Amino acid sequence: MIGTLVVARRELSGLFMAPFTWIVLLVVLFINGLLFSSFIYQTQGNVTASLSESMTGPSFWLWMIFLPALLSMRLVAEESRSGTLEYLLTAPVSDAAVVVGKFLAATGFLALLWSSTLIYAVTLDYAGGPPDWSAVIGTWFGTILVSGLFVAIGMLASTLTSTPLLAAFLSMVSCLMWLAIPFLASSVMAYLVPLLTSTAAEQAALVGRMGSVVASMDALRHFSRSFQMGVLDTAEIIFFLTWISFFLFLTARSIEARRWRG
């Protein structure tokens, strides 16, 4: 536990010492700022809608594809290449502590990034349009969980190769895939279902059943049905936490496999 925190602290401070991170931070803040201004303008000053669009709109999901990939590339693949991963993996901390520490650092960075919306909210409050604070913070909490999930996916993809660019690409593709599960599944189903069933009723039943399975994996849906609306739902929180743990577990196993692969 202490090891995890030590690693997390170093990774996070290391992130803020690298120009790369600041460039990412600046780009995201600048674009988000532009978008937020346009939301304010479009909605004629609707506080709730602007904040919600800024925190949960398409731009958020677009960032979710790129940022975790870049971060995990930095935290795993680049370190693996420069050898500092070897240093960490021979230090008296467990693999799990290293993985979780890096995960916490990346997620913490994203959490900090998303808290820029909280600054927008403070400004709105000051400017005379008080936001619904508890709901806004609930949504912010949700964005952190989503970031965590995507960082975990990105880290898993990043451990599979020590070429940073390839790792970033792999992470991006896996994050995109995770987001695109519903679309992929529906296209696959459209192709497969007629082969598996004969009657229309069977088809409908199969589509329905598979649809519910797919929906249970759909992060977008889980997010939009709870945090995005300003609801804390135990089932949704556990959905994100369990998937994060699962991917971190796989990441730790993948790093352990390096000890065998060499």
Partner 1 sequence: MIEVAHLTRRYGSLLAVDDLSFEVGRGEVVGFLGPNGAGKTTTIRILAGYLAATKAERLVVAGHDVQRDSMGVRRSIGYLPESVPLYPELRVEEMMRFQGRLHRMERQVMRRRIPEVLERVGVQDRGKQLVGTLSRGLKQRVGLAVALLPDPEVLVLDEPTSGLDPIQRGEVRDLIHSLADDRTVLLSSHILAEVESVAPRVIILHEGRKVADGKPAELAASLGGGGHVAVEVMGAASAEDMATLIGSLPGVDSVATGDRVGIHQSFQVRGEGDLREDIGALAMTQTWALRELSWQRPTLEQLFTRLVTGRGLEDLDGPASSGAAAAPSPMLEAEPVDLPAAAPVLAAGLELSSGPAESSAPPLGTPGNAGSKIIYSLNPFDRGASRDLSKPVSVDAPPEAVSGEPEPSDGDGDGESAS
Partner 2 sequence: MSGSHGNVGGLSRAGIGAQVLVTAVLALTALLLVNWLVARPGLRHRFDLTSASSNTLSTATLGVLERLESDIQVDILYRDMNAPLTALGQEVIVRADKLLVLMEEAAGGRLAIQVVDTADQEAWTLRQQELRLRGYENGLIVSSGERREFLALSGDLAVFDMGNPVPETYIPPRIQQFDAERAIVGAILDVTEGAERHVYFTYGFGELDALDAVENSGLGLLSEELEGDGLRVHRWNFLEDGPLPDDCAAVAVIGPQVGWPEDMYAEVVEYVEAGGRLLVAAETVPELLRKSDVPDLLAHFGLEVSEGRVMHPLLDRRTGIVVQGQQECEVHVVTGDLMSRHPILSALRGAGGSFSVPIAHRVQVGVQPPDGVAQALLRSSPESWLDAPPCDRRYDAQLDGTFKSFPLAATVQRPPMVDVEAPKGLEAVPEVRIVALGSEAMLTNAALQNPTFRSADVLRAAFNWLLDREHRITVPPRDPDLRFLPRERPESAVLVIRVAQYYLPLAALLASLLVWLRRTRGSQRVALKTSRLEESDG
**Positions that interact with partner 1 (CB under 8 A):** 2-3, 6-7, 10, 14, 17-18, 82-87, 89-94, 259-262
Q: Which is nearer to partner 1, 15 or 185 (CB)?
A: 15
Contact 192, 203 (CB under 8 A): no
Q: Which is nearer to partner 2, 19 or 92 (CB)?
A: 19
> Quick one: which segment of 29-37, 56-64, 75-83, 172-180 binds partner 2 (CB under 8 A)?
29-37
197 interacts with partner 2 by CB under 8 A: no
Question: Burial of 211 by CB count in 10 Å (0-12 exposed, 13-18 middle, 19+ buried)?
Answer: middle
Partner whose footprint covers residue 183, from partner 2, partner 1, none (CB < 5 to 8 Å by kind): none
Nearest to 11, CA basis, from 78, 94, 81: 78
45 interacts with partner 2 by CB under 8 A: yes
Residues 6+ apart with CB under 8 A from 176: 65
Q: Which is nearer to partner 1, 24 or 51 (CB)?
A: 24
192 interacts with partner 2 by CB under 8 A: no
Return the SS3 of 204: helix
Residues 6+ apart with CB under 8 A from 216: none
Q: Which is nearer to partner 1, 93 or 181 (CB)?
A: 93
Residues 6+ apart with CB under 8 A from 231: 138, 225
Contact 247, 155 (CB under 8 A): yes
Residues 6+ apart with CB under 8 A from 31: 59
What does the binding site for partner 2 look like in residue numbers (CB under 8 A)? 16-17, 19, 22, 25-26, 29-30, 32-34, 36-37, 40-41, 43-49, 116, 119-120, 123-124, 126-132, 134-135, 137-138, 216, 224-226, 229-235, 238-239, 242-243, 245-246, 249-250, 253, 257, 260-261
